[in-house]
């Protein structure tokens, strides 16, 4: 016993040490906080391919004081990179780069010990280490969720020197891991804020309908820095709510308020201004109210069955060949989603930036949000569980106030095994503990086709555990239709809602041929794939949504066909240049008819 206890202790200690993930949870919604200042702009940068910068102490940003002093690096007068933005798309020689890039900038601040100062990063891929004025303030792993550091102690009056080491090497124990079908964009991908708030301030809040009620708004507010009970005002002017809350000794106040908000729905995505005020600190948000539940194989939005007319996309602007990061980018992607007639998006395969999530919800789009547990994950490694839990926690924490989000997805296309089942069913439980008001899903590709009865089935413990089963099946592309589509039956998780989370095939825009497989890669063949799949879908009794793969052609090192792909996954309904392929209209017609 002692031996195994010791081993266990060592493993836990090792995991804690190596992970050392940002200790502090991040503040809710810096976008709605009046004391948050963006540090976006052009930052100095050094490409450090061999990773020498830490030993050479680049983080000190030292300048030679006399001409005999030898400092063999300099941030000044060289490369400058845009923040936010991936580095790969900013310089031709960084296109395929994976490794270390150092970023540096200064910002002015006032040292004020009566307040608290933070650096907030909306997303840095894949790993970030942060130094302020030469002192390390922390690190964070995971490219798609925010993190922050309290820098009150390190901050100086006047000019502050901020240095970030970004590393986007793929890793065996990373999430995602060594291979994935999208570009491995590295860099400070999303907004960076300096936030200077009163010592006592709003750290976190949740404002949603109480589960099972359409006329009760419930939630909590959590203060930071409060050592005694504090009065907090919650206001929702359009609902005539002005409630005085008092926090407990831990800075927390829960509430339930009778109210009759107009419910958020795709046709009328009503949102309300919600504000919390404590002393001179205030944060405001736009929040919608709706209920989402599963009844048998139906998905009920505000108590009514809904069919999810969806689409997948990456957080990428194909025309710019880089990551999306702004409201304008979100509008570009999502207007194309709306034009297709969608009411649902799957932000495959990771939490996308808050601009996208927020603009989508304002446009009335329901959202499936996923952590990047994509094929090829080393589930037997205990570190993976810890990392996955952290990413899941950060995703749910960030987006728990978003009415648009209806499904938390924990994985995409993972092979059943003892370890995988344990890790993923554990994540399902954790998701329900963290947020019991939304649905839990996962995307599966391990269905079995039974030739004798022309039927698909799915045997998977994970499918039993989730609320919504996502199915990725590329009939007509990776798998030919074995018989006519109308003869194929589906007997997959029939007691639950099934969403076709991925289907489709590739076509090079402007390449024409017949609808025959001999002319695969043509727009006509892609169109035919969609037509046939829609015929097959008639035989899925529990089909409650579809989400083609994918809206735009996207960049991916997976895709090595020199003529048709050239490093692009061509399954887009819209090309990388923004031209709609023929299949686009098939999808649009399918949605119009629903
Ligand atoms: C899948 C993956 C998706 C890929 C897609 C494809 O099953 O989930 O990330 O990009 O197939 O194009 O093969």
Mind listing the pLDDT tens digit for each residue in 74-109? 999 999 999 999 999 999 999 999 999 999 999 999
Q: Whose CA is nearest to atom 13 of ligand 1?
A: 181
**Candidate of 181, 346, 472 to mutate for ligand 1, largest count of ligand atoms within 8 Å of Cβ:** 181
The pLDDT value given to residue 24: 64
Q: Which domains are present in the chain?
A: 22-198 (2.60.120.260), 201-293 (2.60.40.10), 294-593 (3.20.20.80)
Ligand 1 mean position to 188 CA, how many Å? 25
Ligand 1 mean position to 477 CA, how many Å? 11
Give the whole-number percent of the chain exceeding pLDDT 70: 96
Ligand 1 mean position to 412 CA, how many Å? 9
Ligand 1 mean position to 181 CA, how many Å? 6
The pLDDT value given to residue 3: 52
**Candidate of 549, 551, 552 to mutate for ligand 1, largest count of ligand atoms within 8 Å of Cβ:** 549
Q: Whose CA is nearest to atom 3 of ligand 1?
A: 181
- HSE of 406 in the Cβ direction (CA atoms, 13 Å)? 31
Ligand 1 closest atom vs CA 569 = 12
Burial (0-12, 13-18, 19+ Cβ within 10 Å), 353: buried
Ligand 1 closest atom vs CA 556 = 10
Q: Is it the case that residue 479 has pLDDT exceeding 60?
A: yes
517 near 508, Cβ under 8 Å? no
Ligand 1 closest atom vs CA 504 = 12
Mean pLDDT of 543-563: 97
Give the whole-number percent of the chain exceeding pLDDT 90: 95
Mean pLDDT of 300-312: 98
What pLDDT, in 10s, does the model give residues 244-260?
Answer: 999 999 999 999 999 99
What pLDDT, in 10s, does the model give residues 311-334?
Answer: 999 999 999 999 999 999 999 999
Q: Would you call 487 helix, strand, or coil by DSSP?
A: helix
What pLDDT, in 10s, does the model give residues 389-413?
Answer: 999 999 999 999 999 999 999 999 9
Q: Is it the case that residue 176 has pLDDT exceeding 50?
A: yes
Q: Whose CA is nearest to atom 2 of ligand 1?
A: 181
Ligand 1 mean position to 473 CA, how many Å? 9
Q: Which residues contact 561 (CB under 8 A, 6 or more apart)?
A: none
Q: Is it the case that residue 519 has pLDDT exceeding 80?
A: yes
With cut-offs at 50, 70 and 90, classify the pLDDT of residue 13. very low
501 near 474, Cβ under 8 Å? no
The pLDDT value given to residue 10: 53
Q: Is it the case that residue 439 has pLDDT exceeding 90?
A: yes
Ligand 1 mean position to 363 CA, how many Å? 26
Cα 540 from chain centroid?
29
Mean pLDDT across the chain:
95
Ligand 1 closest atom vs CA 478 = 13
Write out residues with Cβ below 6 Å of ligand 1: 181, 349, 412-413, 445, 472, 502, 549, 569, 571
Mean pLDDT of 138-154: 98
The pLDDT value given to residue 465: 98
The pLDDT value given to residue 461: 97
With cut-offs at 50, 70 and 90, classify the pLDDT of residue 67. confident
Q: Whose CA is nearest to atom 10 of ligand 1?
A: 181
What pLDDT, in 10s, does the model give residues 337-359?
Answer: 999 999 999 999 999 999 999 99
Ligand 1 mean position to 407 CA, how many Å? 19
527 near 290, Cβ under 8 Å? no
Mean pLDDT of 24-33: 94
With cut-offs at 50, 70 and 90, classify the pLDDT of residue 589. very high
CA distance to 140, 294, 399, per residue, from 394 (Å): 12, 25, 9
Q: Is it the case that residue 18 has pLDDT exceeding 70?
A: no
Q: Whose CA is nearest to atom 6 of ligand 1?
A: 181
The pLDDT value given to residue 19: 43
Mean pLDDT of 501-521: 96
Ligand 1 closest atom vs CA 348 = 9
Least confident of 36-40, 112-116, 516-520, 534-538: 516-520
The pLDDT value given to residue 1: 42
Please, which residues bridge with residue 247 across strands?
none
The pLDDT value given to residue 490: 98
First-to-last alpha carbon distance for the chain, in angstroms, is: 61
Token readout for 328 is 């304008």
The pLDDT value given to residue 6: 54
Q: Whose CA is nearest to atom 7 of ligand 1?
A: 472
């Amino acid at each position: 016993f002692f031996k195994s206890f010791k081993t266990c202790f060592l493993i836990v200690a090792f995991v804690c040490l190596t992970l050392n993930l940002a200790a502090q949870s991040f503040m809710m919604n810096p976008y709605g906080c009046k004391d948050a200042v963006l540090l976006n702009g052009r930052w100095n940068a050094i490409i450090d391919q061999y990773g020498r910068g830490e030993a050479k102490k680049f983080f000190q940003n030292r300048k030679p004081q006399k001409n005999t002093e030898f400092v063999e690096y300099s941030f000044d007068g060289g490369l400058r990179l845009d923040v936010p933005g991936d580095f790969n798309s900013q310089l031709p020689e960084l296109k395929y780069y994976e490794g270390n890039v150092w970023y540096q900038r200064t910002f002015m601040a006032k040292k004020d010990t009566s307040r608290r100062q933070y650096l907030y990063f909306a997303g840095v891929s894949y790993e970030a280490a942060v130094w302020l004025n030469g002192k390390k303030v922390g690190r964070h792993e995971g490219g798609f969720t925010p993190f922050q550091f309290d820098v009150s102690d390190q901050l100086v009056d006047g000019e502050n020197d901020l240095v970030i080491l970004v590393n986007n090497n793929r890793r065996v124990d990373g999430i995602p891991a060594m291979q994935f079908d999208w570009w491995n964009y590295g860099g400070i991908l999303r907004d960076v804020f300096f936030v200077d708030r009163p010592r006592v301030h709003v750290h976190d809040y949740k404002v949603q309908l109480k589960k099972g009620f359409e006329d009760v708004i419930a939630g909590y507010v959590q203060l930071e820095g409060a050592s005694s009970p504090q009065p907090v005002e919650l206001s929702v002017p359009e609902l005539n709510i002005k409630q005085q809350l008092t926090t407990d000794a831990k800075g927390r106040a829960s509430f339930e308020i009778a109210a009759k908000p107009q419910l958020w729905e795709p046709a009328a995505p009503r949102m309300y201004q919600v504000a919390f005020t404590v002393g001179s600190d205030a944060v405001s948000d736009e929040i919608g109210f709706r209920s989402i539940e599963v009844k048998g194989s139906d998905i009920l939005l505000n108590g009514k069955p809904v069919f999810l007319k969806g689409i997948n996309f990456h957080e990428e602007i194909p025309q710019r060949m880089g990551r999306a990061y702004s409201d304008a980018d979100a509008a570009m992607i999502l207007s194309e989603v709306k034009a297709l007639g969608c009411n649902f998006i799957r932000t495959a395969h990771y939490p996308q930036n808050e601009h996208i999530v927020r603009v989508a919800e304002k446009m009335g789009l329901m959202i499936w949000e996923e952590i990047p547990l994509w094929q090829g994950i080393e589930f037997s490694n205990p570190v993976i569980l810890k990392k996955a839990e952290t990413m899941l926690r950060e995703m749910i924490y960030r987006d728990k106030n978003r009415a648009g989000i209806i499904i938390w997805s924990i994985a995409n296309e993972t092979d059943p095994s003892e370890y995988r089942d344990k890790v993923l069913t554990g994540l399902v439980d954790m998701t329900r503990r963290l947020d019991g008001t939304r649905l839990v899903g996962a995307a599966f590709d391990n269905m079995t086709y039974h030739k004798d009865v022309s039927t698909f089935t799915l045997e998977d413990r994970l499918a039993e555990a989730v609320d919504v089963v996502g199915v990725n099946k590329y009939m007509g592309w990776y798998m030919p239709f074995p018989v006519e589509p109308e003869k194929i039956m589906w007997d997959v998780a029939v007691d639950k809602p099934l969403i076709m989370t991925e289907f489709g095939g590739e076509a090079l825009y402007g390449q024409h041929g017949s609808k025959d497989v001999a002319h695969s890669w043509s727009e006509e063949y892609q169109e035919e794939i969609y037509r046939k799949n829609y015929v097959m879908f008639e035989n899925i009794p529990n089909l409650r949504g579809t989400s083609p793969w994918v809206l735009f052609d996207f960049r991916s090192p997976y895709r090595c066909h020199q003529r048709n792909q050239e490093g692009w996954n061509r399954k887009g309904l819209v090309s990388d240049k923004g031209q709609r392929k023929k299949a686009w209209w098939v999808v649009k017609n399918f949605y119009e008819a629903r």
